Amino acid sequence: MPQHNLYIQNTLSRQKEKFEPLHPPHVGLYVCGPTVYGEAHLGHARPYVTFDVLYRYLSHLGYKVRYVRNITDVGHLENDGDEGEDKIAKKARLEQLEPMEVVELYTESFHESMRLLNNHHPGIEPRASGHIPEQIEMIQRIIDNGFAYVSNGSVYFDVSTYAQNNDYGKLSGRVIEELIAGAGNERRELEGQEEKRNPADFALWKKADERHIMRWSSPWSIGFPGWHIECSAMSRKYLGETFDIHGGGMDLVFPHHESEIAQSKGSCGHAPVKYWMHNNMITINGRKMGKSLGNFITLKEFFEGSNALLEQAYSPMTIRFFILQAHYRSTLDFSNEALKAAEKAYKRIYNGLRSLRSLEHPGEASSPDDQLKERVLSAINQCYEGLNDDLNTAVTIAALFELLKIINSLKGGQIAWEKLEPEVFESLRNTYALMVETILGLREERGKTAQFSEVLMDTILEAYRSAKERKDYSQVDAIRARLKSEGIVVKDAKTGISWDYEE
């Protein structure tokens, strides 16, 4: 049984709770995936990087994590409501494509961006359109239990009946009376609302009109599922009626996740999820970044620098580091300055890892320094404490910078090897590499334009050294300048010649 001290903030209780899975060592993790009607943007990267780190940390602790992240390829309507055009069908109409061509195109592009960000692929990635029978079955059970009704071929969840004996609004903190009384005021005029008994009711199944080209047979009409029922049906299929963690962006708490709870309770009588986790939003000048707001920058544009808001290109690891530098529940504001700082910090962290790999402890410490040992052990401890405190990667990264100072002092000779015991150095080395690569999921990005190998770099530095020996300074300068243009600096120290990523 994994031993750990991990606490996570549960949106449902609004408290940090000790993580105790339902069926250890197994953990069920469900994260709402993208609606694939356009390129993934920075706002998408945050939940997927956050829950990738959670997946990595839980796996490191010894849990067997089943990670499910869906693809929404039908049923997500404009404005996230029950009316309007399907987002994918609309894109298909505008681009004169089949809806499934739109889905393939943007699913593949999403996967490519996730790979570049070094996110693990989920264990299961179900598509909503591939799980229509499961959704129909779940809707039927909700109707049979008296929590949904059929109206003109569509099926709606009956919020006021459900709320008589259930806590509708608990997750989002919304007040049910206000939802029922007030939600309709501005919506009432919208088409289709007259089908509902109450404006707070939400669609489980929609009868397809002539605009909806994605349609399936059901007991109620030829139509398509509501957006919320998709996640309920797919998470139940792969993780069971109750599972451990459900993640997503804060903007999904209401109505999406609130509705998921109601659908599960309405169909099988109990809550679907033990821990609800929500990441905060990425903002641009204080406003949420989103497709519907038109102020988003796609991940591809970041990687290429091809957006007027960007002063340069930012690599996938810079984006990953930028996201991890903040706690996932804090807001994160986009700016070129913040991204440049993240780029520099990422390179410093990685140079530290390269240094560590080249450093060799001579084998014994003749005058061990207890204070130094304490400093190292406390920073190592802080790496874990950060993660255990609701996945606070900002704290972990601060601890890595503390370890980095020690690494650089060992490398530069300011700290003598005889002061640090070999086993303490070994812990430092192991923890640093584990945190940077295995848990935070950072990886080395070499050069701006091309991949190059260590052997090649050794050869270049050899040429540099011999140019210096024969006092051919124009050659020395030329090599330095050429490497600098690739983001590499030659370190010419008394102890030897080496290279680093330019910070």
Among 89, 171, 204, 231, binds Zn ion (CB under 5 A): 231
Q: Would you state the torsion angle of the CA atoms of residues 156, 160, 162, 168, taken in this order, to the nearest 10 degrees? A: 100
Nearer of residues 103 and 231 to Zn ion, judged by Cβ: 231
Of 433, 432, 424, whose CA–CA distance to 373 is shortest? 424
Nearer of residues 255 and 487 to Zn ion, judged by Cβ: 255
CB of 420 to Zn ion, least distance (A): 49
CB of 85 to Zn ion, least distance (A): 20
- Distance in Å from the first CA to the final CA of the chain: 42
Task: For residues 252 and 278, give the distance between their C-alpha atoms in angstroms, rounded to a whole number.
Answer: 8
Stretch that binds Zn ion, among 29-37, 157-165, 166-174, 214-222 (CB under 5 A): 29-37
Eight-class DSSP state of 389: B
Residues 6+ apart with CB under 8 A from 181: none
Footprint on residues 94-123 left by Zn ion (CB under 5 A): none
Nearer of residues 34 and 99 to Zn ion, judged by Cβ: 34
Contact 398, 380 (CB under 8 A): no
CB of 34 to Zn ion, least distance (A): 10
CB of 32 to Zn ion, least distance (A): 3
32 binds Zn ion (CB under 5 A): yes
Nearer of residues 143 and 231 to Zn ion, judged by Cβ: 231
CB of 30 to Zn ion, least distance (A): 8
Stretch that binds Zn ion, among 9-17, 223-231, 394-402, 474-482 (CB under 5 A): 223-231
CB of 501 to Zn ion, least distance (A): 39
CB of 247 to Zn ion, least distance (A): 10
Task: For residues 253 and 247, give the distance between their C-alpha atoms in angstroms, rounded to a whole number.
Answer: 10
CB of 249 to Zn ion, least distance (A): 10
Task: For residues 432 and 447, give the distance between their C-alpha atoms in angstroms, rounded to a whole number.
Answer: 23
Nearer of residues 231 and 379 to Zn ion, judged by Cβ: 231
Amino acid at residue number 107? T
What's the length of the chain? 503
- Burial of residue 50 (CB within 10 Å: 0-12, 13-18, 19+) is buried
Nearer of residues 54 and 231 to Zn ion, judged by Cβ: 231
Distance from CA of residue 469 to its chain's centroid?
50
Structure tokens that stand for 68 in this block: 């499910």
Nearer of residues 259 and 392 to Zn ion, judged by Cβ: 259
Stretch that binds Zn ion, among 217-225, 228-236, 339-347, 479-487 (CB under 5 A): 228-236
229 binds Zn ion (CB under 5 A): no
Task: For residues 444 and 461, give the distance between their C-alpha atoms in angstroms, rounded to a whole number.
Answer: 20
- Burial of residue 290 (CB within 10 Å: 0-12, 13-18, 19+) is middle
273 binds Zn ion (CB under 5 A): no
Footprint on residues 377-416 left by Zn ion (CB under 5 A): none
Of 122, 154, 129, whose CA–CA distance to 230 is shortest? 129
Q: Which residues bind Zn ion (CB under 5 A)?
A: 32, 231
